[in-house]
Amino acid sequence: MFYLGISAYYHDSSVALSDADGNLVDFKKEEWLSRIKGDKTFPRLALQELINFFNLSEENIKSITFYEKPVRSWISVLKHSIKNNPLSNDLTRNYFKNVWNSSMRFQMDISKYIKIKKIPLLYSDHHLSHTLSALHYYNNFPCVSVVVDGYGDKYCTSIHHVKSDKEIINLWNSEYPNSLGLFYSAITDFLGFSINEGEYKMMGLASFGQPKFFENLKKTIKFEDNKLITDTKYYDYVRRIDRSFSDLLIDLFETEPRLPNVSLEIGKKNFQAYADIAASAQKVLEELLFSIFQYAYNLTKERKFLFSGGVAMNSAAVRKCSKLKFIDQLNISPSPGDSGAAIGASYFGFLNERKKKFANFVSKNNIKNNLFPGKFKSKDNFLEFGFDKVADTDTFLNETSKLIAKNEIIATCYSNIETGPRALGHRSLICNAHSSELVKKLSTEIKKRNLFRPTAPAILKEYAEKYFYLENSLTNCYMHMAATATPKAEFLENIRGVVHVDNTSRIQICNETQLLGKILNNLKKFDIYLIANTSFNISSDPMVYDEIDAVVALHKMKIKYLLTENGLFRKKFEIRV
Amino acid sequence: MTYNYIPHPPREGKDLLGTLNEFAYAEYGSFLEVLALAKKAKSPRRKFGFIKHALDEYRHSSLFFNILSNQAKRGVGKFKREYRYFPQNVIIKGYVDKKGFLVEKLSLKNLLEFVYANELMVKETFDRLKKINSITKDEESINILNSMMKDEMDHHGQAKKLYEIKFPNSKLQIALKKERIKRNFRLINFHNIKLLNKIFDPIINFFINCFGKIINLISIPDSNNKNLLALDPKNVI
């Protein structure tokens, strides 16, 4: 029997499948299959693939859980808009016009793919789905869960007291439009990046600036009397659909919003002004997170924290939060955003069923064995796509290591894909991290990313402790690049390419059973202890999913080598792109 | 090739940048359609053929973004915020149908007819685009368009060849006429969106007036201090 969880209609739709014991057996994002980054449409391709892999039908699906309550979600923003804007306002009209593109149509959509007469359709609270997506990986009770995102069904921030996997108490919320996530998105929009896509670019840019606008900006959103309050005079997301910031915010920054075609190059005109704005917003975000975490502690006295929602992807803020003296453990799921909420939804289905049947239950889920769920195998037909096989499975790791030592860049399309937004080795581009020139080439020339965006390193645990100052509270986060660490001064020059301008690295600590761990183990003999690891996609494309995407991406990026579970391949010729 | 509908070159001086932006997304939509074809194809040779075709479409999309950027630099128009690259626009603008790719919806015969006809029509459209004053003056853009037109004719030829092998008794000229008529209907629809909005807006306003106040009266249940796992999981509000 299976429990299906679905997240869709707002951003990054996805499907998760748990088995009868609540273990995550597969997870797919629609964007991997549709090839449209951030695809938010009903995840029909992802669902179809799971139906085919697992022969899903009404006979073996115990429940289908949608990750939020659709009517509540649709009404909450609408109510606010009707109350505060003229009736014919753009946002109100947009909500009415798009009612049939929203989650209100979930039941209709799902019934096209699975007969739902015999299967219960469940609806989890949006922020509960986030909490459960983290809890699925860290069944460690009691603890407190902090959820911070743009907007869920009614709430934008929540504090849940997780007393057990039968009792999760909703202690505190901030309601729309008082949203830390929407605040950060509004500044992202101001800086000319796309909302829900450019937030991590803004985080990278922030390190180059000084928080010159911090004092002014913090007046627009504050945590006061245990309430998060946004001054919506500065933010147009409450009234417009084409822009998230208001003219007042432009006046506050005394800078024109950046047009997307104006290049952001270090040292060039306006770069510093925009970096200062990003730094100010980052500082506001961090300070408000500190207050929310403090309040969560005051309410529960728990020292173990779960953190989820889109804002939990802000790895720079995560590290700073982990230093708060009352936090012993800060755990984040590999996919803390809305797509990962499908995992929480499927887990909700399991817990809902289990409470009827079992008295005592110990979950076997943990972060170590759930980073790459699924049944994916790439096909071995690269020879017919213009590739040579360089090494078979008995020697491919050795050969890969030799090529890395020769400063080659290797792409991987290896077995199951990672659940989260960070590539952890199975859909990665990897190279020698000790060569800063090579890392720069990988990031800017090959991946076409801005120079201000950092590249992350992967490292074995024994060397992580040698090269970096690690936070004990973030041990789990380091396994999937959810937090940054500071390199030790004596090694800085040796790994400059994977250290950001603020002197931090978003490290991935690998164990020796993982693909990158095995490669790192092999690389010791070449005196290479870190590899640069970035996702196998060109900027603004989704991560590569299968062998066809891999071939296309290799040509787009002009990369020669591809490592799959079937061997190591070399491209024989380039196709003009 | 651009699927679903082919944007129309503007009259001289009228929103050229907007049209180029549309072309870029249209070509990106074609990239996704041909990629879907590559994934569905059975023979590795055909898969690889579609991969190459998809990469052509991807290149065209990038080149249109380049022409857009060049033309903006030449002062043809103002680069608007809406030209910011947003992948999901390919669905929002209708270049890929969220209900399915063409390969999922059309038979092989209809698909080949579609490709044959649309590649030719796109080539004709690029021909008209080349004649626009500000493009004529931009040698780089002309070269890009020429190279794209050559690709489109190659794809048109490949579709024709495969069609004639698979369906020797059918006539492609009829398919071309059919596609031209369909395209004209799509264009009429596309160019009349503003008019349609003018017709439907008062109806939507009427709905907002009727239901807005009712919606405001609906209270959303609060879950403060409640066990979230104990709430009714079938409740949608």
Q: Which residue of B has its CA nearest to A79?
A: B216
Q: Is the pLDDT assigned to residue B8 strictly greater than 90?
A: no
Using 50 as the pLDDT threshold, list the residues of chain A that sit under it. Answer: none
Q: Is B214 on the interface with A (CB under 8 A)?
A: no
Query: At a CB cut-off of 8 Å and minimum separation 6, what does A552 contact?
Result: B35, B51, B54, B55, B58
Q: Is B223 on the interface with A (CB under 8 A)?
A: yes
For A432, list phi and psi in degrees, rounded to 5: -65, 115
CATH number of A180-332: 3.30.420.40
Element (H, E) at A123: strand A121-123
Q: Within 10 Å of residue A406's Cβ, how many Cβ atoms?
A: 9
* Chain length of chain B: 237
pLDDT digits (tens, 9 = 90+) for A76-129: 888 888 888 887 788 888 888 888 888 999 999 999 999 999 999 999 999 999
Find the CB nearest A194 among B86, B91, B204: B86
CA torsion sign, B171 to B175 to B176 to B178? positive
Helices (H), A410-545: 436-440, 461-467, 515-523
Query: At a CB cut-off of 8 Å and minimum separation 6, what does A543 contact?
Result: A32, A417, A418, A423, A427, A535, A536, A537
Residues A16, A64 contacting (CB under 8 angstroms): no
pLDDT of residue B214: 85
Tell me what percent of chain A is helix, strand and coil, each rounded to the nearest 5: 40, 20, 40
pLDDT of residue A568: 96
* Beta strand segments in A376-417, E: 387-391, 410-413
Fold annotation for A2-137+333-370: Nucleotidyltransferase; domain 5 (3.30.420)
Residues A448, A475 contacting (CB under 8 angstroms): no
Q: Which residues of A touch B69 (CB under 8 A)?
A: 261
Rounded to 10°, the helix A90-97/B193-217 angle is 90
Q: Which residue of B has its CA nearest to A546?
A: B39
| Alpha carbon separation from B230 to A63, A120, A134, A157, A339 (Å, rounded) | 16, 16, 19, 20, 24
Residues A145, A160 contacting (CB under 8 angstroms): yes
In chain A, domain spans: 2-137+333-370, 180-332, 382-571
Do A2-137+333-370 and A382-571 show the same overall fold? no
Contact A122 B225 (CB under 8 A): no
- Distance to chain A for B196, nearest Cα, Å: 13
Contact A260 B39 (CB under 8 A): no
Q: Which residue of B has its CA nearest to A549?
A: B35
pLDDT of residue A368: 65
pLDDT digits (tens, 9 = 90+) for B65-110: 888 888 888 777 777 888 888 899 999 888 999 889 999 999 988 9
In the numeric block, the tokens 């299967």 are attached to A119
In chain B, domain spans: 16-179
Residues A318, A330 contacting (CB under 8 angstroms): yes
Element (H, E) at A215: helix A214-217
pLDDT digits (tens, 9 = 90+) for B169-199: 888 888 888 888 888 887 777 777 778 778 8
Q: Is B226 on the interface with A (CB under 8 A)?
A: yes
Say which DSSP state A491 is in: G
Q: Which residues of A touch B237 (CB under 8 A)?
A: 69, 71-72, 75
Residues B23, B205 contacting (CB under 8 angstroms): no
- Distance to chain B for A156, nearest Cα, Å: 14
CA distance A373 to A342: 14
pLDDT of residue A168: 96
ipTM above 0.85, yes or no: yes
Q: Is A575 on the interface with B (CB under 8 A)?
A: yes
Give A530: exposed, middle or buried? Use CB within 10 Å, 0-12, 13-18, 19+.
buried
Contact B85 A79 (CB under 8 A): no
Contact A69 B204 (CB under 8 A): no
- Distance to chain B for A111, nearest Cα, Å: 14
Q: Which residues of B touch A79 (CB under 8 A)?
A: 215-216, 218, 220
pLDDT of residue B4: 54
A48-56: long-range pairs with CB below 8 Å, 24+: A48/A113, A50/A4, A50/A15, A50/A17, A50/A26, A51/A113, A51/A114, A53/A26, A53/A375, A54/A2, A54/A17, A54/A25, A54/A26, A54/A375, A56/A2, A56/A4, A56/A17, A56/A114
Determine whether domain A382-571 maps to CATH 3.40.50.261. no
For A496, how many CA atoms within 13 A lie in the half-sphere containing its CB?
7
Q: Is A263 on the interface with B (CB under 8 A)?
A: no
Contact A75 B220 (CB under 8 A): yes
Q: Within 10 Å of residue B204's Cβ, how many Cβ atoms?
A: 16
- Distance to chain A for B174, nearest Cα, Å: 32
Which CATH architecture fits B16-179? Up-down Bundle (1.20)
Helices (H), A301-335: 315-322
pLDDT of residue A97: 82
Find the CB nearest B207 among A35, A96, A352: A96
Q: A 202-261 residues with CB below 8 A of B?
A: 242-243, 257, 259-261
Residues A46, A29 contacting (CB under 8 angstroms): yes
pLDDT of residue A363: 62
Q: B 31-50 residues with CB below 8 A of A?
A: 32, 35, 38-39, 44-45, 47-48
